Each structure stands twice: as C-alpha cells, then as structure tokens.
Amino acid sequence: MSVQVVVLAAGLGKRMRSDLPKVLHPLAGLPLLSHVLAAARSLSPSRLCVVVGHGGAAVREALDAPDLQWATQEPQLGTGHAVMQALPHLEAGGTALVLYGDVPLIAPRTLRSLVEAAAGGALAILTQRLDPPRGYGRIVRDDGGRVVRIVEERDATEAERAITEVNTGILAVSRERLDAWLAALRNDNAQREYYLTDVVGAAVGAGVEIAVRHPAADHECIGVNSKGELARLERLYQMTKANELLEAGVTLADPARIDVRGELTCGRDVSIDVNCIFEGRVSLGDGARIGAGCILRDVAVGARAEIKPYCVIEEAEIGGNARIGPFARIRPGTRLEDEVHVGNFVEVKASTLGRASKANHLSYIGDTTVGRDVNVGAGTITCNYDGANKHRTVIEDDVHIGSDVQLIAPVTVGRGATIAAGATIVKDVPPGGLTLTEARQVTRSNWERPRKKK
C-alpha cells in the first residue's frame, strides 16, 4: 500500500521566545523536525512533504534532502489549510498520513498501526487520554461509543471540556477522501481557521468508519510549544534511552545523568559513569569503561578500554585495553591502537599512536605517526604548524622522548632513538643513539630582576 506523509511545520512558536524556527530547536542533539522525519521515513513513503511557513527558508536549508517535497503556507490559516498546501506535491491514490513537526517522539510502530487501520478505507485518528486535558481538542462520542466529532477547546462547551480523551492531530486516510473533505472545510469558528479536525465530522456524515488508535507510550504525542516543554521531552527521551541501555546490560551509575544525542551501541559489561554525553555514532566494545563527565562524538572504543573522567573525544578510534585520560582531548582523525596510554592534559589530533605507546602527561601530538612502544615525555610538543601550512612528524617504533622536547615538523625520528629532555629537534634523527641539543649553563651573578614602575 502506498503511503504519503505530510508533516506540518509552519508554526511560529511564539512561546519559544527565540529567533530559531520552533521545529529546528534541538532534542537529543537533532532538530525536532529531524525526529519526525526519521519516524516518517521508517514507513518508506512514496512522498514526504513538509509544509513550512515562519522561518521556512531556514528550515529547508537545515534539513533539505532528495526525498523531501516542500510546500509553503502563507498566511497560516489553520491545520486544514496547511494540508491543502501539500496536496499538489502528493501522488494520486494511496493513504495520506498527517504528522506534526513539533511532536518529535512519535514512534514508527504507532504510525504503522495507524496506517494499517486506514488501509480498509477508514479514517484513522490517534487519540489519548490526558488528565487534565488542557489545550487539546476533545473527542466527542455518541452513546454507542462511536466518534462523532472533535471540538477544539476554545469552541467547546463546559461539558465537552471535561472530556479527557483528546485529539493528537495525527491521522491517516485515503488521498481521495482527504481531497474531498479538505475542499469542503469552513472557517466559521472562534479563530476563523480551517481545522483539519473537521474531517471527522465529514467522515461521520459520509458514513465512513472512524478507527481510533492510541500511542504505545503517552509521551509520543507530546508537542513542544515552550522551552519548558522541550526540556521535559529531553528528559523523557533520555530516560527512555537509559532504560534501553539498562535492559541491554549496560551499567549506568545514574540513569538520570546520561545524554545520548545520536546512536550509542554497547557490548557486554560496559559501564558508564555520570554526566557523560554521546553524540553522533558511538560504539563501546565489551568491558569498556567510561568515566564521569566524558564527551564522545563519532567514536569507536575497543574492548576493555578505559576512558577516565572528563575526556573529550571526537571522530576517533580507541583500541582495546587503551587507557585515556583523565582530562585528555582526542581530536578528529586520531587512531589509538591497542594498549595505548594517553594521560592527563594530553591533546592528540589527526595522529596514529601504535600499540603500547604512551604519552602520559601535558603533551600535544598533532599530524603525527607514532610507532609501537614509544614513550613521549611530559611537555613534548610536535610543532606541526609553520604559520601557513601543517607538516607531519614521524616517530618510529621503540623511541624514547624525554620531557619538554619540541619536534619541529616535518621531521622523522628513527627507530630506537632516544631524545634527551629539553631538546629542540629541527632535522631528522637517525635510528638508535642519544640525540640532544647541548647548551652551556651560564649564571650571571650581577643580574637583577625587573621591578614594577611606581
């Protein structure tokens, strides 16, 4: 069965008090609208149309993709009017599904249930019970329990406002029926708008079955209209992710203090301490341990590796049994092989460190290829930038570098070499032996320290 999806994303979002269009505000590191589009794409729709209005150019620039059709609602005259703008972008036939760009947690299985309910010619609507139901349209049923209409809160009577079954706004129906019902909409209501919900009355009048479905979880249909609601959804999302990790056997020091802003996959016996943030695609191998306050973005961590507290690691590979941190920064393009140690206040960028190599203290390694079993002393710096261009350093296997050494790239240090503390290396170092830059120690006994001017 062909499914076509319309996502309404034209709202201003006044209560967000922001210049950023509402649907671009981030939830779990991605725009609200991105979450909705991901759920829609799970259905493999033949058409996926986003209706924009306020900030439409910014929304399109941020999220445009080959599978998206774009429609503009100007002026904004209600949800029914918004769907009308999408019709020219849809195919004839099939089922039309209407979603909302500020309802980000809707689950694919809920949408599949709704589409399946509409497959036999019914109008399928998604409802849920809320107490209190403030702000939502109410589902009005007859004495036999059949849905007869949806009334918006501002147009409802006192008795209707007491109804706790509410409309989520999400619905599915055949494309042909949607066309006919939208063409018949009227705006004789308090807001002078064309309500999509009025298609329920049209369905009743035409004797069309109204199939009601409910979300698998209540939070799926919560919309975002303020920063407070956005923060609430963020916590709901993160607790859901935390529970999934716990069910998979991951040890979380505190499930309320983890943020997954992308895709996190974990092997067996992984442990994660508090206040860690995972962005993009992160994989943690069996037995990996992540210390408190770490930030990992697009990182693969090998089995039994330990990332100690307060490390920032981006676009990197960490080998098995590696030891990183605390307070280390691993920048994009870095590969640390098995059993590598990178210690406190060490920064590594666009470099490879071979098996069992170590840089334990206060060093910068940039644009460098480091071999196996290398020891980098405290305070060592690879000087990779000449003010205009980056240059590469090569340190071969079994090199020992003393403290406070500067390696002026481009330079190669041969296998088995030792570089004495304080050396400034400006040309290639041959294999083996000790390399140092000698200087005579001088004391000037008559020298006086500078004094501050009064």
**378-414 pLDDT, tens digit each:** 999 999 999 899 999 999 999 999 999 999 999 999 9
- CA torsion, ordered 145, 149, 155, 160, to nearest 10 deg: 0
Q: Does domain 250-435 match CATH 3.40.50.360?
A: no
Residues spanned by CATH 2.160.10.10 within the chain? 250-435
The pLDDT score that the predictor gives to residue 90 is 94
The pLDDT score that the predictor gives to residue 255 is 97
The pLDDT score that the predictor gives to residue 136 is 87
| Rounded distance between C-alpha atoms, residue 115 and residue 135, angstroms | 26
| Rounded distance between C-alpha atoms, residue 409 and residue 436, angstroms | 17
Which helix (H) or strand (E) segment holds residue 227: the answer is: helix 227-247
Taking only the tens place, the pLDDT of each residue in 418-454 is 999 999 999 999 999 999 998 777 768 887 877 888 7
| Residue pair 215/168 in contact by the 8 Å Cβ criterion | yes
The pLDDT score that the predictor gives to residue 188 is 86
The pLDDT score that the predictor gives to residue 17 is 93
The pLDDT score that the predictor gives to residue 377 is 97
Enzyme catalytic residues? 361
Long-range interactions of 314-317: CB distance < 8 A, separation 24+: none
Structure tokens at 327: 């307070």
The pLDDT score that the predictor gives to residue 11 is 87
Identity of residue 156:
A
Low-confidence ranges of the chain (pLDDT < 50): none
User: How would you classify the pairing of strands 95-100 and 165-174?
Assistant: antiparallel
Residues spanned by CATH 3.90.550.10 within the chain? 3-221
The pLDDT score that the predictor gives to residue 1 is 64
| Residue pair 453/437 in contact by the 8 Å Cβ criterion | no
Decide which of 3.40.50.2300, 3.40.50.620, 3.90.550.10, 3.30.1300.10 is the CATH code for 3-221: 3.90.550.10
